[in-house]
Amino acid sequence: MVWTDLAVLVADTSRVWWRLLPQISTIYLLGWLGSELSLRLAIIGGDISPWLSLVLFAFNFVCVLGAAVLILGAAGRELGIRQLIPADEAEQDDRDTSITRLLTITLLPFLGMYAAFGQVKEAADRLLTGQIVRYGVLGDLPTINGMLANLADEHRLRLLGIVVGIYVLRRVVDRLRERTGLRPLGFVVVLLESFFLLVLILGGIRVFQQFRLWLVDRALVQWLVEARDSLARFLAIFRIDLPQLIVAVGQFLDTQVWPVLWDVLTQPILWLAVAALVYGSRVLTLAELWRRGQPYARRIPGASVFARFAEKRALRRLAAQARLGAPPKGVRLAATQVKEAFFGDIDDKYLPTFHSLRLVLRAGVGFLGSYVLLYTAIVVAKNSWTSLVHALIGGHPGEFWVRWEPVVELLTEGPYEPLRLCLLAVAFRRCLEVFRLRTETPLSFPPPQGAPVGRVAVAAATRRGAAANVAPAREELAVPSPTSEAPS
Amino acid sequence: MTLPPRLASVLLAIGCVAVATVGLRSTQPDVDARDYNVQIVPGRVGQAVHIRGGELEVTNVRFGSALAEYGEVSDRTAGMFVVLTIEASDTGTKDLQLTDSRLFSHEITYDSYGFPGGPLVNPGFRSTLDVAFEVDPDLIDDLTLDIYQSQLISGYAQHARISLGITAETAERWRASGRGRTLEVGKESRQGIG
C-alpha cells in the first residue's frame, strides 16, 4: 500500500540522514570544495589552454560524483543493502573494493543524468561566466565553448578524431588497469571518462544544432511543410485552423504534460535507477532474480545480464568455442579484441543502467507513487529554501553573484543533496524488499546488525497494509503470508 | 463499496503524482516570468524607493500624442506617449545605473522609446531625466514602471516597480489629458546632493 511505502521511506530516510549527518555532511563539503576548486582552476587554466581548462572542468564532475557515490555507499551500508545478499552468494564485485572502479562504472549514467537535467549546462555556464569575468567580453583568449564550437563548425573530422581517440585511450588505460591492478590508473580512467563525456556532450550539442539547421533546409522538410499546409487548407473547409490546433496541442504538451513527465516522474525514477548501480551487480542480479521469482540459489554465474563483465566475457568465449570450435586467431582475433574493446562498455555501463531502470519500474505503482511524492517534496523544500535565501540576501548586481555563488550554492544545495541521496538509498532498499517479498515466504537471511531503521513506523504501517498484499516490514518477513507470495 | 487493493494502489499513486506535480509547479521558478530571479522594490509616483545603494523617484507622469525637444516636435504617434520624469540620487559609493526600463499594463509590455531608459548617476549626485514610452491608449490601466540594470552576467537582481496609479476608472481622464498634447522631453540634468 502507498501509505506503508510512504511511512517506510519517510522514517528510514530521516533516520539514516540523522544518523549519518556528520559523515555525509563532511563528504558533501569535501566534494563541494573539490568541485569549486577545480572550477576555479579550470577558469585560470584557460589562460594556458582551453583543453587544460576542459580537463580541470572534468575533474569538477569527478568531485561531485565521488561525493555522491560515497554518500550513497555510506547510506547503503547503514541500511545493510549489501547484507541482503546471502553469504554463499556474496561474491565481491570489484566496485566494492575500488572507488575508482565504481566511479568509472557509474560516471557515464551519472553524467548523463547531470546533462539531461541541465547540471552540465549549468556548470558550463558558470565556467563561461568565470572566463568572461576574467578575460572580459571582448577578450581574445578562446573559451571551452568557443573552442568546441569552432571544432564542430569547421573541423568536424578533427572533433570526431578527438572523441574516438579519447575513447580508445580510455579503453586502453582501463585494460592496463585491469591487468596491472594499479589503482592510480583507475583515477586516470575516471578522469578520461569524464573528459570524454564532456567533449561529447558540449561538442555534440553544437553538432546537433547544426544538424537541425541543415535539416530545416532540406527538401524533405519542405515537403512535410507543404503536406501540413495542404492538410490545413483541407481542414479549413470544416473551419478547423490546423496551425492554431498544432500550436495549442504543442503548448499543452510543452507546458502541462512534459513538465509532469520529465520533472515529476522521469527525474526521480532515473536517479533511483542510476543510484542502484552504486550497490553493485550482485545486488542488482539478486533483485532481478527476486523480481522473476527465481530462488537465488539456482542462479548460474554469468547467466544474468547483471553478471560481472569478466564472467560474461568468459561465458561468451565458452559459448563461442562450443559453437565455432577453436578460439579465433589472427585477423579474427584482432577483430574480436577490437569489438570487445568498443562494446565492452555497453556490457559494463549501458546495459546495467537500462536493466536497473527496468527493475525500478517494476517495483510497483504504490512504491513508485510514494517515492515520487517524497522525492518531489525534497525538491519543493529546496526550491522554497532557495527563494528564501535569495530574499534574505536581496537583489545584487551580477558581479556579486559571481563572487558569492559557491557559498550561495552550498547554502541552498547543502541541506538537501545529502537528504536526497539518503532517500535514493532507502528507496532502493525498499525496492529490494518489495521484490523479495513477492517471491519468498520465509526469511532466508536476517536483517543486518544495526541496519533496520524505521522499525516502529514500518511495523505499524505494515500491519495496516499486510492484508492488502503489500510488503511487510523486515521483522515480519519470517511470517509466511499467503498474500505476500502472490506477485502483484 | 471497497475498491480492489490494486486499483486503490494505482489511484493512490496517481494522487501522489498529482500532489507532487502541484507542489513542484508552485515552487519551481518560471524562467519566462517577469519576476524570475528578481527582487521587486515596490513604489508609487511621488515616493522615493531605495535601490542599489541609491534613491529613485518618479516625480511626474504626462500623456501626449507628440514629443518635442527644444520646442521642436520630434515624434508623433497614432497611439499615445507617456513621459515619466525620473529623479535618482546616488547616496552610495558606486555608480547608480538603472538604464533599462519598461512599462507593464497587465500582460502587455511597452519598451522605452529611445535610450537611455533610466538614469546613470555618479556617487554624490542627483540626476533628473524624462523617459518616454509609446503605448496603446486603450491599454493603460494599471501601468507600472519596471526600472533596472540589465547585465551580461546576472543573478538575483533588484528591479524597482513604480505604480503610476492609473486605474480602469481613471484611464479615460488620463487619455483625455493627452489628446493632441505635445510633450517637451527635457535633457538630463545633474547636480550634487549637497
Cell for B22?
Answer: 502541484
- From residue B14, how far is each of A156, A285, B51 by CA, in Å? 47, 30, 46
A228-242, B40-54, B132-146: least confidently modelled range = A228-242
Whether A398 contacts chain B with CB within 8 A: yes
Average pLDDT over residues B25-44: 85
What percent of chain B lies above the pLDDT cut of 90?
56
Q: Where are the domains of chain A?
A: 2-485
> Chain A contacts of B29, Cβ < 8 Å?
383, 387
Average pLDDT over residues A208-215: 82
pLDDT of the residue at A93 = 60
pTM: 0.76
A88-97, A354-363, B123-132: least confidently modelled range = A88-97
The residues that bridge with B76 in the sheet, in sequence order, are B66
> Chain B contacts of A469, Cβ < 8 Å?
5-6
Average pLDDT over residues A210-219: 82
Q: How many CB atoms lie within 10 A of CB B134?
A: 18
Cell for A122?
Answer: 549549468
Average pLDDT over residues B64-83: 92
Element (H, E) at A40: helix A2-45
Only one residue has cell 507542489, namely: B23
Cell for A221?
Answer: 522538410
What is the pLDDT confidence band of residue A302, given thresholds at 50, 70 and 90? very low
A283-292, B24-33, B183-192: least confidently modelled range = A283-292
> Chain A contacts of B156, Cβ < 8 Å?
390, 393-396, 401
Q: How many CA atoms lie within 13 A of A212 on its CB side?
A: 6
| Residue in A closest to B12 by C-alpha | A2
A253 Cβ neighbours under 8 A, 6+ residues apart = none
User: Residues of B at the A interface (Cβ-Cβ below 8 Å)?
Assistant: 5-6, 8-10, 12-17, 19-21, 23-29, 37-39, 41, 52, 149, 151-159
What is the pLDDT confidence band of residue B187, given thresholds at 50, 70 and 90? confident
What percent of chain A lies above the pLDDT cut of 70?
71
pLDDT, tens only, A328-372: 566 666 666 666 555 556 556 666 777 778 888 888 888 999 999
Q: Is the pLDDT of residue A292 over 80?
A: no
Average pLDDT over residues B149-154: 82
Cα–Cα distance between A43 and A53 in angstroms, integer? 6
Contact A373 B17 (CB under 8 A): yes
pLDDT of the residue at A335 = 66
pLDDT of the residue at A86 = 60
pLDDT of the residue at A460 = 37
Taking the CA of residue B141 and the nearest CA in chain A, the distance in Å comes to: 28
Cα–Cα distance between A108 and A190 in angstroms, integer? 10
pLDDT, tens only, A33-48: 999 999 999 988 888 8
A157-161, A297-301, B67-71, B115-119: least confidently modelled range = A297-301
- C-alpha closest to that of B76 among B31, B122, B119, B134: B134
The residues that bridge with B163 in the sheet, in sequence order, are B44, B144
pLDDT of the residue at A344 = 59
Contact A400 B21 (CB under 8 A): no
Element (H, E) at A290: helix A281-292
Taking the CA of residue B176 and the nearest CA in chain A, the distance in Å comes to: 38
Best residue of B17, B31, B97, B146 to probe chain A, by most A CBs closer than 10 Å: B17
What percent of chain A lies above the pLDDT cut of 90?
20
Contact B13 A2 (CB under 8 A): yes
Q: Identify the burial level of B175 via C-beta atoms within 10 angstroms of its C-beta, where 0-12 means exposed, 13-18 middle and 19 or more buried.
A: middle
| Residue in B closest to A468 by C-alpha | B5
Compute the mean pLDDT over every residue in chain A, rounded to the nearest whole number. Answer: 75
What is the pLDDT confidence band of residue A455, given thresholds at 50, 70 and 90? very low
CATH architecture, domain B31-186: Sandwich (2.60)
Element (H, E) at B8: helix B5-27
> Treating both helix axes as pointing N-terminal to C-terminal, what angle do A50-79 and A99-116 enclose, rounded to 10 degrees?
110
Q: Is the pLDDT of residue A481 over 60?
A: no
CB pairs below 8 Å between A and B: how many? 117
> Treating both helix axes as pointing N-terminal to C-terminal, what angle do A365-393 and A2-45 enclose, rounded to 10 degrees?
50
Report ipTM for this prediction.
Answer: 0.83
Q: Where are the domains of chain B?
A: 1-30, 31-186
